[in-house]
Structure 1
């Protein structure tokens, strides 16, 4: 259809839309590879046209993550370092990293002729590594740090390395993605800027300020945890006096628990007591919370988890001691209680940021070593070929 339209009226292909885009911009946006091939071959000039956002068609393809379109457009540029957008001065690797397009980033990094793009800076001095860190694109960041040509120590115009930027983000947000970003850079060997103090006066910590939306989210988490801890304290307090089996009403043992000599009753009392006081500690921490809410949440997590775990064991022991004459019911109570305990502890371990952070960093180290082993034979062969040619 495009061929027929061009034969009838080529002037149609000189038109631009409201956003300043050419037909090639639209084809790149839609990943219309056949259309891109036709337009590039027939109207090569359109590959050099900017839209109102300052993007070339190849920038649009990188933004959308279209590898095939990017590959075709890339063939028409002998000097890829000249492919800069007009607004921020970013190259195609900057843009792919900015929008988290892992496939496009991988394709660009595998091309030897784009080595100059890897550590290139935009108008604010940010490299693709800085951009990926700022946009919290941890998959792209992982891809970049695995490349040997990426300089992890470069600073931007604010005298900040990528690690400096990542260091402020966990304090600001306290979320998993920010911690992953910081862990990836730290594992890869990134360092902080020695010039940071020049642009950031002593005592000024940009990571301390919380945006209203983030502050409300953290306050909601504090309130929810306060409710949970209070409920646990109330239930364990009541269970401490409404003991399984009740109390002796007469004789020398009047007022003592009926099941006092049962071993599982001891387990009930100990676990119920631990759960009660752990929840009280959590309530106290959350009640007098001031300042850094992230630190308060981190500090209150262990006593809440302890209270939940010991409360489940206390309930298991209480049920067991009252139905111990029914073997199958006692076994069900034990299995249920132990399962609940392991689920609570397992979720606490697996879902904590530190665990996922360590898991991710270990994965990065393993992949990096595998890539180096795979590339060593190829690099050795290239070195021998260059020596033979010389």
Structure 2
């Protein structure tokens, strides 16, 4: 495109248009295009130059008004995208003046709506100008287009998205309400992958608060039961998003939707349990009590779903509800109880919660002849010495005995499939390495505990600040000094107890000796560090404000480093999480 022509269209230079009209420039000059195939009206619309449209030396039948660029966009698409009401209104009026056959102006009703074909032109994505206006939240342009052609609300693009669906997905409440309430025709609710505008609306809590869900259902009651490509209803989506208000509206109008299962047999109640939405669970079960008996294709109940979703609040809700007691030990198609699944996921909190309930059957055997404890042990079966303290605590709740059928299966498998010499040698080396590692670990613990005891003992005899001539501590009146003495004695005591336990553990086989000693040493180190901080503050407080500030900042630095290291020490999970939803 000629630079002067492009600049004139971009800036709305009417002088250039007058000179062009007076000089009677050729049509080919005005027909020039940019590399994107935009003509001068595309450019003028982009920069909202309405005067350029009004004064352009073009007749009403000029193809430039409705020409498309490389992406199929007309000047109307461009004006809708930038939200230029004046240009949109001008093009609507221009379309109304334009007939399909200008030579036949008495063609009657056949041509009465001819202008609407221009307003309905779509781009390469099958978007109408209304789609574009909605996507860019230009409510004024939406109003102009719907008033000019209400049927634009029923068009869908190449992704099967209607203007209403786009408005809901983007959360534009005002546009949604306008299309629902002001459009004289019934708008399309269609969206991508079978998801309707109602599916999307229940995931937007602020739209529910504007009464949009009620309005949609009142206009199309059957939409409550419409499913997407996965078989999910709007109630499934409300349960997943935790939208209690939307769920109540849907259940009040059609509570039978609670029984609809998706293609995997999952109900909205399963989804609510998996997502941890106890309020929606309570609402659904309150309206339809027998929905608690719904099973998915794997034979799993809502308690199974809650365990798989790691939602301990839902687990507690079900355990505390006497009406749901039948779910506690119910097995799925593989014979797994909820406790089996919790053990397989290595979820300590849920395991502890379940095992604290006396109604939970800890010895239940599944189709693989395994108890929950077998899944929890995993590769550590038979090697309890290598299990950390927290897992040992969980095992105390699960029970340490493994079912006889499991032993039978293991023995039968070993006999039928004898191990290769290499595998046997590997297991022997592993056991030998573990047996060698235990004494080394005890030696290390004894060494560390002895060092801590020595340091804290020496610190107790050589207190910060020294002694007065009468033999009393110079800083005995400082509160930080009192803290120092208390923490130092505590650290020394813990280290001494750890040494005692280790020495006893070499004489008698005390299973919890190693983890207990390790825990004591960890606390001993913590208190020793705190004693150091207190001693430092006790000394610095006597050196004036500057010394006090330096001491406090230094101590905070050490505390920060210590807390960071403690955070990094968190054990990592040994098992992968398993999800079905």
Q: TM-score, normalised by structure 2?
A: 0.39
2: distance between equivalents of 1:40 and 1:115? 24
Residue 97 of structure 1 contacts residue 128 of structure 1 at CA under 8 Å; is this kept in 2? yes
Matched, 1:200 2:410: yes
Aligned position for 1:303:
443
Rg larger for:
2
Cα deviation, residue 22, structure 1? 1.7
Moved over 6 A (4+): 316-321, 329-334, 345-352
Residue 100 of structure 1 contacts residue 139 of structure 1 at CA under 8 Å; is this kept in 2? no
- Does 5-14 or 99-108 show the bigger shift? 5-14
Alignment counterpart, residue 291 of structure 1, candidates 426, 430, 439: 430
Cα deviation, residue 354, structure 1? 5.4
Residue 24 of structure 1 contacts residue 57 of structure 1 at CA under 8 Å; is this kept in 2? yes
1: distance between equivalents of 2:332 and 2:280? 24
2: distance between equivalents of 1:294 and 1:3? 66
Aligned position for 1:82:
293
The 1:85/1:4 distance shift into structure 2, 3 A limit, reads: same
Alignment counterpart, residue 224 of structure 2, candidates 8, 13, 17: 13
Aligned position for 2:371:
161
The 1:30/1:343 distance shift into structure 2, 3 A limit, reads: farther
Cα deviation, residue 316, structure 1? 6.3
Cα deviation, residue 341, structure 1? 4.0
2: distance between equivalents of 1:300 and 1:177? 22
- Does 100-109 or 171-180 show the bigger shift? 171-180
Aligned position for 2:395:
182
- Following superposition of structure 1 onto structure 2, how do residues 308-387 of structure 1 map, counting pairs within 5 Å? 308-314=448-454, 327-328=466-467, 341-342=492-493, 353=515
2: distance between equivalents of 1:165 and 1:314? 44
Output one character per residue of 1:244-293: Cα deviation in whole Å (capped at 9) or x when no partner: xxxxxxxxxxxxxxxxxxxxxxxxxxxxxxxxxxxxxxxxxxxxx95156
Residue 136 of structure 1 contacts residue 177 of structure 1 at CA under 8 Å; is this kept in 2? no
Output one character per residue of 1:18-52: Cα deviation in whole Å (capped at 9) or x when no partner: 54422111111121111111111213343122335
Aligned position for 1:127:
337
1: distance between equivalents of 2:490 and 2:517? 21
Cα deviation, residue 194, structure 1? 2.2
Residue 84 of structure 1 contacts residue 91 of structure 1 at CA under 8 Å; is this kept in 2? yes
- Following superposition of structure 1 onto structure 2, how do residues 133-282 of structure 1 map, counting pairs within 5 Å? 133-168=343-378, 170-171=380-381, 174-186=387-399, 191-201=401-411
Output one character per residue of 1:3-29: Cα deviation in whole Å (capped at 9) or x when no partner: 111122335434444544221111111
Matched, 1:70 2:281: yes
- Following superposition of structure 1 onto structure 2, how do residues 82-121 of structure 1 map, counting pairs within 5 Å? 82-86=293-297, 88-121=298-331
Residue 344 of structure 2 contacts residue 375 of structure 2 at CA under 8 Å; is this kept in 1? yes
The 1:351/1:200 distance shift into structure 2, 3 A limit, reads: closer
Residue 81 of structure 1 contacts residue 116 of structure 1 at CA under 8 Å; is this kept in 2? no
Residue 299 of structure 2 contacts residue 333 of structure 2 at CA under 8 Å; is this kept in 1? yes
Cα deviation, residue 192, structure 1? 3.0
1: distance between equivalents of 2:456 and 2:353? 48
Gaps of at least 5 residues in structure 2 are 1-211, 416-427, 476-480, 502-511, 520-581
SS in 2 for 1:195: helix
Aligned position for 1:260:
none
| Count of residues paired in the alignment | 268
RMSD of aligned Cα (Å): 4.3
1: distance between equivalents of 2:393 and 2:241? 32
Q: TM-score, normalised by structure 1?
A: 0.56
Higher helix share: 1
Residue 305 of structure 1 contacts residue 344 of structure 1 at CA under 8 Å; is this kept in 2? no
SS in 1 for 2:336: coil
Cα deviation, residue 191, structure 1? 4.8
Alignment counterpart, residue 25 of structure 1, candidates 232, 236, 246: 236
2: distance between equivalents of 1:146 and 1:314? 43
